Amino acid sequence: MKGFLLNITSIIFISLLLACGGAKKVMVSAADISRAEDNGTLEQLYQKVGRTIEESSGSSKKDALSIQSQIVNRIVATYQKNVSKSLSDKTALGLVTRQNLNLTLSEIQSLKGWDQNAYANTKQQIDEQLLLTNSAIDKANQSAKDNESNLDVSLKFLKTASLLAGENESETTYYKEVRKSSLETLSKDGRTAFERRMFNTAIQKANMGLSIDAGNIQFESLLAQAETSLFEQKFNEALQNAKPEVAYNALLDVADKPIMLQIKKKMGRSILLLANYFAGNAQGAYQKGDFYLAYNEFLRGRDIQNKLSASNKGFIQEKAFLDLLKKETLKDKNNFGKNYALLQVIKEFDDSYPTLNEALLTGIEKITSRSTTKIAISPFSEVTSANSVVASVGRRIASKLEKILFSGLKNEILVVTDISRADSQDYSGPHYQINGEILQAAIETNRSQARRSKNVQTGINKVETVEYLKWKKRSKGDSPVRYLESAIMEDIILSLEHIRKLAVVELDYKIISPVSQKVLVTNNINKESNFKGTTTQEFQKGMFLQDYIQADLPSDIKIMDNLATELSVELGEKLTKYLTGIEKAFFSESTKSLGKGEKLSSIELLANAVVMDIKKSEKRDPSDANKKKIKASDAWLIELKKQVLEFI
């Protein structure tokens, strides 16, 4: 209604404009044309102007014809704009629906009367899009026909054809009919298969129905019932045929599915019998000395208990197994890695086992102590210099370097004052000697005298005014201004001293293996700094005073201390890169030992890798983007347990 009133108002407005102009002049502006375009009354305005042309002559008729031409251009542009909007309204498949294209074709028929060329070009655009859409529809229909044996695939192609055709089109009606009949058939066939205990077929029908109609309650119910019944069938048959592995795998298949809750209620007791069976197998295994098999069988039993949310976890047979492992740790207390691995197995089953935590802490301390990389930083050799600050820069660098390494790698290295030769057979971490030599260190100070002229005020010149002198003779009335004052400006020369300090330190460093005395890394670092300033000498003349200003330069101690800090930070970064990753080195050495058949050596070195990686992880940011990934120590610990249980 509002649009109707707006159009009527516009028409009245246009009529008044034309009436006011009479036959001699057409009073239609560009704004009037734009307003008519916005209101959808361009054609009415065109007709009104046409009548004016018939009644006009001369310049008025010429003006009217020009206005009429402008209106035609606007009308054509409006058609083209509407077509562009329609062609941009594409489906998710990137094409315009056939329904919209046909509608657009019918809407531009009247454009033919306004501009034949514009109509032809616009129609060609629509025809091209229509050809693409029809081709895609035909292709989808053919693909649906080719895949009739695969109902879900065929329906997807029919759905594509429906989307491209548009609402209420034959393809859409056909798709809805086929979809409805297919769902009904699937539901019926699925129920029939379930009643005949053909559970796999029932599951297949239910899944296909859900792929067509996600969230369909009937199919979800059928799927749950069929999966539950299939599990029950597989599980019971496996137990009856003495195939516990098959029964266990059947449980794993459904453990993470929603039907597990129903299975727990219906078959919980029967499934727990399987857990007890594995515990019995474990007992038989460790009594025969096969500790790794026993470990895995106990894990399966525990896994079943966890999946059933059993309140009391564990088995009676575990106690003797854990006691045997604990007894094994007492045989050789110096095999810290082997004992640590055995204690970790005990902890996995009973974290409240007597003295377990104390023994674990002791083992971790022993492994950490032997595994930690030990470095000694020798006093860096100094240069000979009369300047004590320069002659002590090596000590400064070494001291700062110790603090940097200790702060950044405190869980991975141990800074010591002396390193004895490491025993290559005690599974200890690497030992490094850091040597440094100051190749050059100096502070050079250059001074140069200079003079600078400056125009300054040295006094004030006072002259009595004529008015004051006249007043002074009479001494009557208020006193006028006595003096006219002017500044006395003079050029002076200031004495300056330009001072420049250049400091340089060059350090040569080496990482040495105390075992082989081999130089592992050698390099050198250079640092230098420049400072300059100006000292201004005191000067006074008249009322001008130049204070003594000393050059703002750091002291020699400060300069050398800053250079020592820069050198120690850079050296610390280089050493940190070299010293980190010891846990990976231990893992690599463990793998080599295992390949040589040196099982105990492999266990001890792998235990080093596990403990050092755990230590490093304690200082990692918990918001680390990689925290969801399995840590290396987790995988290594699993391997460590395997190796130690196969070894004992």
Pair type for strands 431-464 and 373-377: parallel
pLDDT at 7: 46
- Pairing type for strands 413-416 and 431-464 reads unpaired
In terms of Cα–Cα distance, which of 451, 463, 453, 466 is closest to 488? 463
SS (H, E, C) 164-200: HHCCCCHHHHHHHHHHHHHHHHHHHHHHHHHHCCCHH
| Residues 414, 499 contacting (CB under 8 angstroms) | no
**Residue 613: exposed, middle, or buried by beta-carbon count in 10 A (0-12, 13-18, 19+)?**
buried
Q: Kindly give the parts of the chain with pLDDT less than 50.
A: 1-24, 422-424, 625, 627-629
> Residue type at 459?
G
Query: Could you write out the DSSP letters of every residue in 328-392?
Result: HHTT-TT-HHHHHHHHHHHHHH-TT-TTHHHHHHHHHHHHHHHHSEEEEEPPPB----S-HHHHT
Alpha-helix residue ranges (DSSP H) falling in 372-488:
388-391, 393-408, 466-474
Close Cβ partners of 335 (under 8 Å, ≥ 6 residues apart): 600, 603, 604
pLDDT of 631 reads 72
The amino acid sitting at 520 is L
Rounded CA separation 347/356 (Å): 7
Specify which residues 541 forms β-bridges with.
Answer: 544
Q: Which two tokens stand for residue 610?
A: 């596990």
Taking only Cα atoms into account, the Rg of the chain, rounded to an integer number of angstroms, comes to 48
Per the CB < 8 A criterion, the answer to whether 190 and 223 are in contact is no
Are 346 and 325 within 8 A, CB to CB? yes
Residue-wise burial string across 480-491, b where 16 or more C-beta atoms lie within 10 A, e elsewhere: eeeeeeeeeeee
> How do 544-546 and 539-541 pair as beta strands?
antiparallel
User: Which tokens go with 149?
Assistant: 């044996």
> What's the token pair of residue 236?
């019971």
What is the pLDDT, as a whole number, of residue 569? 94
Nearest Cα to Cα of residue 360 among 351, 373, 370: 351
- Alpha-carbon span 471 to 516, nearest angstrom: 108
In one-letter notation, the amino acid at residue 291 is F
Burial of 261 (0-12, 13-18, 19+ CB in 10 A): exposed
Residue 152: per-residue pLDDT: 86
Q: How far apart are CA 100 and CA 107, in angstroms?
A: 10
User: For residue 475, how many other CB atoms are within 10 A of its CB?
Assistant: 7
Task: Give the residue from 348, 594, 581, 616 showing the smallest Cα distance to 340.
Answer: 348
Span 450-471, pLDDT tens digits: 999 999 999 999 999 988 888 8
In this structure, what token pair is assigned to residue 153? 């695939």
Q: Answer for the pair 411, 451: CB distance below 8 angstroms, yes or no.
A: no
What's the whole-model pTM score? Answer: 0.66
pLDDT at 55: 61
Among the listed residues 25, 117, 134, 135, the one whose alpha carbon sits nearest the alpha carbon of residue 80: 117
What is the Cα–Cα distance from 192 to 197, expressed in whole angstroms?
9
